[in-house]
Amino acid sequence: MILQEKRKTKRWVKFFTIIGLVFFLLAGITYTGIQLYLNKSLPVTSGTISLQGLTSPVSITRDNHGVPHIKAENLQALYIAQGYVTAQDRLFQMDLSRRQASGELSEVIGEAALDRDKFFRTFGLRRAAEASYTSYSEEAQEVLEWYADGVNLFMEEAIKENKLPVEFTLLGYVPREWSVIDSLTIGKYMAFDLGGHWEGQAFRYQIMKALPENKALELFPSYPKDGPDIVAAIKDTNLSIEESFANSVIPDEFNGSNNWVVSGSKTKSGEPLLADDPHLSLATPSIWYQSHLQSPEVNVSGVIFAGIPGIILGHNEQIAWGVTNVGPDVQDLYIEKRNQENPHQFLYKEKWEDAEVFEEEIKVKDRKSIDYEVTVTRHGPIISEFAKDTENETALALQWTALQPSNELEAVLQMNQAENWDEFKEALNSFHTPAQNFVFASKDGTIAYRANGKIPIRSKGDGQLPVPGWTGEYEWKDYIPFDELPTIINPEEGFISTANNQVIDESYPYHITNTWAQPYRAERIKDVLESKDNLTVKDMQELQMDQVNLQGEEFVPLLSQSIDESSLTLKEKKALALLSKWDFMDNKDSSAPLLFHHVMNEINEVLFEDEISEELAELFEGKNQIVDQLLREADKGKPGVWITEQGGLSKVMTTALKRSVSELETEYGKNMGHWKWGNEHRISFTHPLSTVSVLKYLFNPETPIPIGGSRVTVQAAGWNSETGLVTHGGSWRFAIDLADIETGYHLVGPGQSGHVKSKWYHDQMKDWANGTYHATKLTDIEGDTLTLVPTK
């Protein structure tokens, strides 16, 4: 009997061993099959490929960070190659970008993207792109066509050989042909992403309706020009902002940048230095695509948005340039009165005017298409009804510079070939939107700055509130003249810097905006550049990674003075002492930054949580600047309504500290030694498909990296307050010494490639976290070379 049991056990062991082996083999075969499939679509980076329509050979050498150095005999071959190579690395990103901007995501994602599509159909970025195309010169139109040809040549090849990126397989679709309008639409999306303040106007409309006037006005950047007239007009209207803008797409308020340029009088080399780091969303792949383009007509290196030809930021053999966002008031909401007998007519100067109506078909995956109607008044599209199918007596229309025809690509192509300030400035004549702070340096020693773009001059009002659209009193009458835009050339200080801060003083005769970024980044950059001479490109890199928190330096003493220590527990007193000893560095290994940022967030909650809904808070533009000012005024003995109603400054500060300590104890334990900023503040560079849990391990296999910095430090690093993941910051970091203008120093996190199996997919992720730059040269380039040749 025992022998039988042993034999039976052996049989089961043998059976399960066989099953295990079979399972292991199947898993191995499956894994191998998946890897082979993924590897099949890797870009070809060496050898020779024949391309139909190419007029001459092109060499593409990828350096050790995957940057393509494209050398062609003429512009036609150059831009075909740029389109081809960018599609090799970023085709899925390019397709997703044009779909998002065009309102076509539902076709491949499904009903979940429907509200987003309605939003962008309403804004009309693609319509604006189509209207812009005819304003381009024949030469620029050719560049757009050549670039589209290159994208389509790669796409045709990938479809024919079943080598499309795996994302297309996972979503079950094949991309359509690329067009010149796709490139221009992506350009219009970047104007959208860099904003223009419509959401702040909507927010202030709602609080003026819902709150006592004195309380509402405390949340304005300043008292509105013509405020009483506008307020009287809007009190007779009845719009629900929360309902009207449910599921609206709001650009990150912290979209901006740092840039600066230093004269040779303050540098070790004796020639100018330039640095730029645009602050945008951080994801996989990067919003930027780095390239080097060379032909007899141009030799330029830098970055561009994937899907657009040329180089928008970077340098050539004579000049270098960078940008930050001006953030001007270039969007106005107009309250329109609708004819109740004809919903497509709106009142203007006592007459009913016909609006333009666009019938849009939105394709939706796995269901019927949706018929969607967009109504456009003389001021712009009605944007307050995309979230619901009602036709109220009043509606909000958006007037915005980016919805007008513009030809920024014309400027980009001219900038790429400019050799001095005069030529560069002339190129800026065509750069209308988004308005940008350009810094410039050239080999001749010139440094310069210019706030450039179309910024409206209003007949009445200052862009803080929606205005009556029916009276004709609030029209845009002109734009700030090109020759009167803020400009600085070779200042005595020896440097120029901007960080989305106020760039004009009270003597400037035109209105730009009421909402500037908090001043802390700008102040820190200025302090460093003023205090040092013999600056080097290494100093520029270190300044871009600077973690000094001047907001903490300002408000921690106020916090310490204001808090009622007698009401604190021992743990809370220890937390307050922790802040008091802080060196004001947002270091990832420090406890104090974690506590400070939680306290500042809790101050917002204490002040507003009972009266401003989460939905409305999404539209609360400039909240941090306003809270800073409320605290400053309270410290001067002039507490406003919001602070007074919460029991005064001491009560607000004490409550914020207590809540923060409780939250951090729950999250990280009672031992404050375990409270590290980097435990919460981490970078992952998430891929858009990694939100599907099973795909996370494919597209984001790395553990998030703890990093320092914050929204108020020069090393910009904004985070999601729920997850702690850093989602916003220096999307490209660049520094150059014009004494060696052939070498630029770059960081493009997380890497050049959008292909998950590429060695350049996440190779700059740790470098980005640590501030380790790579050099990109205009000459002596080493790496694999792919040659594109004309089809015989």
Instruction: Tell me the per-residue pLDDT of 148-205, one tens digit each, with 9 for 90 and over.
Output: 999 999 999 999 999 999 999 999 999 999 999 999 999 999 999 987 789 999 999 9
Assess contact for 672 and 594: CB atoms under 8 A. Answer: no
Q: What is the pLDDT of residues 574-613, one digit of tens each?
A: 999 999 999 999 999 999 999 999 999 999 999 999 999 9
Residue type, 732: W
Cα 126 from Cα 615, distance rounded (Å): 27
Q: What is the pLDDT of residues 55-94, one digit of tens each?
A: 999 999 999 999 999 999 999 999 999 999 999 999 999 9
SS3 at position 532? coil
The better pLDDT of the pair 10, 439 is held by 439
Residue type, 664: L
- Environment class of residue 635 by beta-carbon count within 10 Å: exposed (0-12), middle (13-18) or buried (19+)? middle
Assess contact for 525 and 464: CB atoms under 8 A. Answer: no
Locate 208 and state its tokens: 């003026």
Q: pLDDT value at position 231?
A: 75
Mean pLDDT (the chain, rounded): 93
SS3 at position 489? strand
Q: pLDDT value at position 27?
A: 42
Locate 753 and state its tokens: 């490639």
In the beta sheet, which residues pair with residue 373? 359
Q: Give every CB contact of residue 559 below 8 A, 6+ residues apart in sequence.
A: 576, 579, 599, 653, 657
Sign, CA dihedral 740-743-744-745, equals negative
Query: Apex CA 550: angle with CA 717 and CA 434, to 5°?
Result: 50
Locate 203 and state its tokens: 């927010």
Its CATH class, for the domain covering 47-193, is mainly alpha
Reference 15, options 23, 25, 26, 3; nearest CA is: 23
Q: What is the pLDDT of residues 605-643, one digit of tens each?
A: 999 999 999 999 999 999 999 999 999 999 999 999 999
Q: Give every CB contact of residue 435 below 8 A, 6+ residues apart in sequence.
A: 325, 326, 327, 328, 330, 451, 452, 453, 454, 455
Sign, CA dihedral 535-536-539-544, equals positive
Reference 380, options 709, 603, 132, 123; nearest CA is: 123
Query: Apex CA 28: angle with CA 26 and CA 30, to 5°?
Result: 65
Pairing of strands 351-354, 342-348: antiparallel
Confidence of residue 238 (pLDDT cuts 50, 70, 90): confident
Cα 260 from Cα 320, distance rounded (Å): 11
Reference 197, options 543, 554, 465, 523; nearest CA is: 465
Confidence of residue 12 (pLDDT cuts 50, 70, 90): low
Pairing of strands 682-683, 725-730: parallel
Assess contact for 276 and 745: CB atoms under 8 A. Answer: no
Locate 233 and state its tokens: 């007009």
Q: What is the pLDDT of residues 720-754, one digit of tens each?
A: 988 889 999 999 999 999 999 999 999 999 999 99
Q: Give every CB contact of residue 245 below 8 A, 6+ residues apart in sequence.
A: 199, 202, 384, 387, 615, 618, 619
The better pLDDT of the pair 789, 36 is held by 789
Q: Give every CB contact of residue 353 below 8 A, 6+ residues apart in sequence.
A: 345, 346, 347, 377, 378
Cα 502 from Cα 522, distance rounded (Å): 9
Cα 173 from Cα 167, distance rounded (Å): 9
Cα 465 from Cα 467, distance rounded (Å): 6
Locate 280 and state its tokens: 């945008």
What letters, b where the CB count within 10 A reaches 16 and e where it falls short, cover 161-174? eebbbbbbeeeeee
Helix (H) or strand (E) holding 198: helix 198-210
Q: In this prediction, what percent of the chain has a pLDDT beyond 70?
A: 95
Residue 269 pLDDT > 70: yes
Cα 771 from Cα 634, distance rounded (Å): 39
Lowest mean pLDDT of 277-281, 313-317, 382-386, name the range: 382-386
Q: pLDDT value at position 385?
A: 87
